[in-house]
Amino acid sequence: MTRIVSQDPSLEPVAEVLTTLLQPHPPLAADLLLTLGEVTLSPGTAGEDECHRITTTPSTITCQARTPQAVFRAALRTALYGTQGLGVVEGGPRYGWRGLMIDTARHFWTVPELERIVDLAAVHRLNVLHLHLTDNEGWRIEIPGLPRLTADGPHYTVAEFGRLQRYAADRHVVIVPEIDLPGHCAAAVRAHPELGTVQTALGPMSISAFDARDPATRAFITHVLTELCRMTDGPYVHFGGDEAFGLDEQLFGQAVTLARDVIRSGGKSPLGWQESVRAGLEPGGIAQWWIDPSMIDLPADVALRPELAARGLTNELLAELAEGFAPTAGDLGRILASGGRVLLSPQTHLYFDRPYDLAIVPPEQRETAARLGFIYEPRTVRHFAAWDPTAYGLDTANVAGVEAALWSETLRGFDDLTFLLLPRLATIAETAWNGRPSAWPQQHDHLRASGRIWQQRGLTFLRTTEVTWE
Ligand code: TNX
């Protein structure tokens, strides 16, 4: 076992959780010393609280930072990936929000499964786990006073959610819970048919959205978000706001404004998908940017992508989708014009339900790779590794951070989940930390080292032929 010595009482919990996290891995030859103290602020980093200094001698590795969280991340990284020789290295992350979103609505992930994801997030120095807790397919979080929401489906109880947040906090990961409204609300309406909705259709799909003029619906939104704020330890509550097809701007604005007001009254900062900026945004407010018309890689004619036709997509539906997403063209501009901050989740590179290009999948994993992923064009791992967060020409002050997202429509179990996450999560996590993509040879070596770590942790991953795995 690696010997971990904390030189400050406030670092004892860090030492303890490091010991637990490092259990599956071979010990370090040197002792790991944890210490609090000032470090030089590295230029272009998220702030002093996140910066660290690592000093390596033949017998000891000292991880120093101003905060336990920065000591934790520096020490875990060093213990897993080693140091670059003897001497002193200083550093820190470029982006302060390095997140991963997991969809618990389309597939329910158990608490132990989520704990393994929290561990994985920590291994890759991520600090946010965003949980998409409700959607048309299911409602996954107990809300005190509204038992019908969770009467007939798997879900997290209040106590489980509390334990998960503490587990994550020990690993310096903040949980951001999301209740998706006013669209994506079918599960809530199944449980509470008395709620007022607006009904529309997208191709063959019928779609409902909350009607925020309805008093029962307003009371419901208020109740749910008030309770959620009470249950949430972290500073943020996400209210969704995406794809509210069928609602006009005014009705959409009413729902978003209500959600934000309730969340602020609950003492939390509201956060929504990019569409929510159409209801305005307060200066400094965050909107999660995931799409614009240039990112929608759907063809104008299904004949060009036979696999889409096989999934039931028609040209009529493609046209409706294109029309429904047309307003996304203005969202980024709206966020910037209101002095808001962008949480970068562009689906071209940060949506991990994008299928893998079968050309990079080894034969024994082809069957798995072929059934996983949404209707996006397949891509290689190098495509994700090349993602450059500075490519959008945004000012530092306008970027809240980076968040990858994994939607669960095609997933059947935990191995499917990690198969889509890994290896690309590691490349995006490095880019979020460094602020820019490293050159491929460096990324390659990092992935290769990561593969060993995932194997030791028993995690399934795509053994892409782009990497010479150990
Ligand atoms: C769009 S991304 C959605 C999700 C789907 C996802 C599939 C977003 C805010 N909404 O409901 O699961 O596409 O990639």
Atom number in ligand 1 closest to CA 180: 9
Instruction: Name the residue of 134, 243, 347, 349 to mutate for ligand 1: max ligand atoms within 8 A of Cβ.
Output: 243
Instruction: Name the residue of 321, 372, 407 to mutate for ligand 1: max ligand atoms within 8 A of Cβ.
Output: 407
> Do 140 and 86 lie in a common domain?
no
> From the CB of residue 154, how many other CB atoms can be counted at a distance below 10 Å?
12
The domain spanning residue 67 has which CATH number? 3.30.379.10
280, containing H or E segment? none
Tell me how many degrees the CA angle 284-430-391 measures, rounded to the nearest 5.
Answer: 55
Per the rule left: phi > 0, alpha: psi between -120 and 50, beta: everything else, 145 is left
Question: What is the pLDDT, as a whole number, of residue 201?
Answer: 86
8 A C-beta contact, residue 187 and residue 105 = yes
User: Is residue 308 one of the residues assigned to a domain?
Assistant: yes
> Do 211 and 333 lie in a common domain?
yes
Instruction: Name the residue of 242, 276, 291, 377 to mutate for ligand 1: max ligand atoms within 8 A of Cβ.
Output: 242
The series of mean pLDDT values per 10 residues for the chain, 470 residues long, is 94 98 95 95 87 96 97 97 92 97 98 98 98 98 98 97 98 98 97 96 89 98 98 98 93 98 98 98 97 91 90 90 93 97 98 98 98 95 98 95 98 98 98 98 98 98 97
- 289 Cβ inside 6 Å of ligand 1: no
Residue 100 and residue 411: Cα distance in Å, rounded? 17
> From the CB of residue 427, how many other CB atoms can be counted at a distance below 10 Å?
27
Question: What is the pLDDT, as a whole number, of residue 151?
Answer: 97
Please give the residue range of the domain that contains residue 293. 97-456
Atom number in ligand 1 closest to CA 184: 11
Q: Which of 41, 76, 91 is the last residue of a domain?
A: 91
Q: Which of 60, 91, 122 is the last residue of a domain?
A: 91
C-alpha 407 – ligand 1 centre gap (Å):
7
The domain spanning residue 218 has which CATH number? 3.20.20.80
Atom number in ligand 1 closest to CA 135: 11
C-alpha 281 – ligand 1 centre gap (Å):
22
> Do 335 and 218 lie in a common domain?
yes
DSSP 240: E
DSSP 360: G
User: Is residue 463 one of the residues assigned to a domain?
Assistant: no
Per the rule left: phi > 0, alpha: psi between -120 and 50, beta: everything else, 298 is beta
Q: Which of 57, 91, 125 is the last residue of a domain?
A: 91
> Do 24 and 131 lie in a common domain?
no
> From the CB of residue 10, how many other CB atoms can be counted at a distance below 10 Å?
12
> Do 58 and 159 lie in a common domain?
no
Q: Among 353, 434, 352, which residue's Cα sits nearest to residue 389? A: 434
User: Is residue 264 one of the residues assigned to a domain?
Assistant: yes
Q: Among 243, 208, 241, which residue's Cα sits nearest to residue 325? A: 243
User: Is residue 119 one of the residues assigned to a domain?
Assistant: yes
Residue nearest to atom 8 of ligand 1 (CA): 242
User: Is residue 135 one of the residues assigned to a domain?
Assistant: yes
> Do 216 and 268 lie in a common domain?
yes
Residue 45 and residue 458: Cα distance in Å, rounded? 33
- 353 Cβ inside 6 Å of ligand 1: yes
Q: Among 113, 106, 82, 64, which residue's Cα sits nearest to residue 2? A: 82
> Do 337 and 293 lie in a common domain?
yes
> Do 217 and 316 lie in a common domain?
yes
User: Is residue 469 one of the residues assigned to a domain?
Assistant: no
> Do 187 and 61 lie in a common domain?
no
Question: What is the pLDDT, as a whole number, of residue 62?
Answer: 97
Question: What is the pLDDT, as a whole number, of residue 104?
Answer: 98
Q: Looking at 266-344, which runs of residues are DSSP E strands?
A: 269-273, 286-289, 341-344
User: Is residue 466 one of the residues assigned to a domain?
Assistant: no
C-alpha 37 – ligand 1 centre gap (Å):
43
- 210 Cβ inside 6 Å of ligand 1: no
For 416, residues 6+ apart whose C-beta sits below 8 A from its C-beta are 368, 372, 410
Residue 78 and residue 396: Cα distance in Å, rounded? 28
8 A C-beta contact, residue 232 and residue 196 = no
CA 309 to chain centre: 30
C-alpha 404 – ligand 1 centre gap (Å):
12
> Do 283 and 351 lie in a common domain?
yes
Residue nearest to atom 9 of ligand 1 (CA): 242
At 428, is the secondary structure helix, strand, or coil?
helix
User: Is residue 324 one of the residues assigned to a domain?
Assistant: yes
> Do 126 and 168 lie in a common domain?
yes
Q: How many domains does the chain have?
A: 2
> From the CB of residue 333, how many other CB atoms can be counted at a distance below 10 Å?
11
C-alpha 177 – ligand 1 centre gap (Å):
16
The model scores a pTM over 0.75: yes
> Do 249 and 287 lie in a common domain?
yes
- 290 Cβ inside 6 Å of ligand 1: yes
